[in-house]
């Protein structure tokens, strides 16, 4: 029985969310810390690598996924994968990079992400100064193709990329619906702290993952 009893369908704005999920949406942040291999970060650039460092800081070993093989190699060598990284992330990040708790691979290695619990998406959303959604659409498709009724616990997708309000829902939730996947049942989707997204459930998720949780905070 959930702590919120039979009102879950109302609280989360989605039908049956609690009945298929082994982890309540508000507990994903804690599960992230408690489950080895739970965190994937798509794009190991400025935002994505910063997320990996923030996770490492609280003892969570995240896996980066990037189409840039040189960046992947740098991460696995314990180096910050872009220039100016020390100024951007601070000296402490250099130490954390070398602990061996951060790894990366390319997205063609589906086994690296197909069972992940939380996907932080930090791919570019601009090209030549214009909004550009191809990378987000591609990554979203790759993650959603790991979802479905066979998964007891729906994976969580948090879009950290910069998007104007409404785009997370338009891109990610539409792609989920096109695959017959329902928010809160087969997948959980939330936008960033800044841009929102995912409806009432997205808010529950953002609070779960980004606020101090079980003594951990990396916001
Ligand atoms: N840099 C900032 O100050 C900042 C601040 C807030 C938000 N953002 C937003 O965060 C997002 C990422 O920005 P960034 O500065 O980290 O970009 P970045 O260029 O530093 O890193 C993006 C990474 O994504 C990888 N990538 C591209 N397509 C991919 C795919 N299909 N699968 C996997 N990886 C892929 C790239 O190879 C690159 O390593 C953007 O939406 C940006 O607007 C950036």
Q: pLDDT tens digits for 162-211?
A: 888 899 999 999 999 999 999 999 999 998 877 788 888 888 888 888 75
Q: Distances from the Cα of 89 to the Cαs of 59, 79, 155, 208, in angstroms?
A: 17, 12, 28, 24
Rounded CA separation 59/194 (Å): 25
The helices-and-strands tally (H runs, E runs) of the chain is 11, 8
What are the pocket residues of ligand 1 if the criterion is a CB atom closer than 6 Å to any ligand atom?
A: 42-48, 65-68, 71, 82, 107, 122-126, 135, 138-139, 161-162
HEC sequence for 102-157: CEEECCCCHHHCCCCCEEEECCCCEECCEECCHHHHHHHHHHHCCCCCCCCCCCEE
Query: Domains in the chain, ordered, with CATH?
Result: 5-210 (3.40.50.720)
Greater confidence (153 vs 218) lies with 153
Residue 129 CB: number of other CB atoms within 10 A?
Answer: 6
Dihedrals φ, ψ of 187, to 5°? -155, 150
Looking at ligand 1, which atom is closest to the CA of residue 81?
Answer: 39
Instruction: Report the candidate in 117, 161, 154 with the shortest Cα–Cα distance to residue 139.
Output: 161
pLDDT digits (tens, 9 = 90+) for 120-171: 999 999 999 999 999 999 999 999 999 988 888 999 999 999 888 899 999 9
* 180: alpha, beta or left? (left if phi > 0; alpha if psi -120 to 50): left
Q: Can you state the percent helix, strand and coil of the chain, rounding each to 5? A: 40, 15, 45
Burial of 110 (0-12, 13-18, 19+ CB in 10 A): exposed
Could you give the CA distance from residue 3 to residue 117 in angstroms, rounded to a whole number?
Answer: 22
Residue 23's contacts (CB-CB under 8 Å, 6 or more residues apart) are 31, 117, 153
3-state secondary structure at position 41: strand
For residues 153 and 24, the answer to whether their CB atoms sit within 8 Å is no
CA of 134 to the centre of ligand 1 (A): 12
Using the mean position of ligand 1's atoms as its centre, give its distance from the Cα of residue 46 in Å: 6
pTM of the model: 0.89
At 152 the pLDDT is: 85
Between the CA of 152 and the centroid of ligand 1 the distance, in Å, is: 31
Probe residue for ligand 1, chosen from 48, 105, 123, 195 as the CB with the greatest number of ligand atoms within 8 Å:
123
State the distance from the centre of ligand 1 to the C-alpha of 4, rounded, in angstroms: 37
The model's pLDDT over 3-58, given as tens digits with 9 standing for 90+, comes to: 333 333 323 333 334 444 578 888 898 888 888 899 999 999 999 999 999 899 88
Atom of ligand 1 nearest to the CA of 47: 16
DSSP tag of 204: H
Q: Which helix (DSSP H) or strand (DSSP E) does residue 85 occupy? A: helix 85-89
User: Is residue 123 within 8 Å of 135, Cβ to Cβ?
Assistant: yes
Q: Whose CA is nearest to atom 15 of ligand 1?
A: 46
């Amino acid at each position: 029985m959930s702590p919120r009893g039979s009102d879950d369908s109302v609280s989360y704005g989605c039908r049956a969310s609690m009945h298929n999920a082994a982890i309540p949406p508000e507990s994903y942040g804690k599960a992230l810390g408690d489950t080895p291999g739970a965190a994937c970060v798509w794009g190991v650039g400025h935002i994505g690598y910063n997320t990996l460092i923030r996770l490492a800081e609280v003892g969570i070993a995240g896996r980066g996924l990037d189409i840039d093989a040189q960046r992947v190699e740098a991460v696995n060598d314990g180096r910050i994968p872009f220039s100016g990284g020390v100024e951007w992330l601070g000296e402490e990040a250099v130490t954390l990079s070398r602990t061996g708790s951060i790894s990366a691979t390319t997205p063609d290695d589906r086994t690296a992400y197909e069972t992940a619990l939380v996907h932080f998406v930090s791919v570019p959303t601009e090209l030549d100064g214009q909004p550009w959604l191809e990378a987000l659409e591609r990554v979203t498709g790759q993650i959603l193709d790991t979802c479905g009724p066979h998964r007891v616990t729906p994976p969580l997708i948090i879009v950290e990329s910069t998007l104007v309000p409404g785009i997370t829902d338009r891109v990610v939730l539409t792609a989920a619906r096109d695959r017959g996947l329902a928010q809160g049942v087969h997948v959980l989707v939330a936008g960033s702290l800044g841009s929102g997204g995912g409806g009432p459930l997205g808010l529950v998720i953002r609070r779960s993952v980004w606020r101090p949780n079980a003594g951990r905070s990396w916001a």
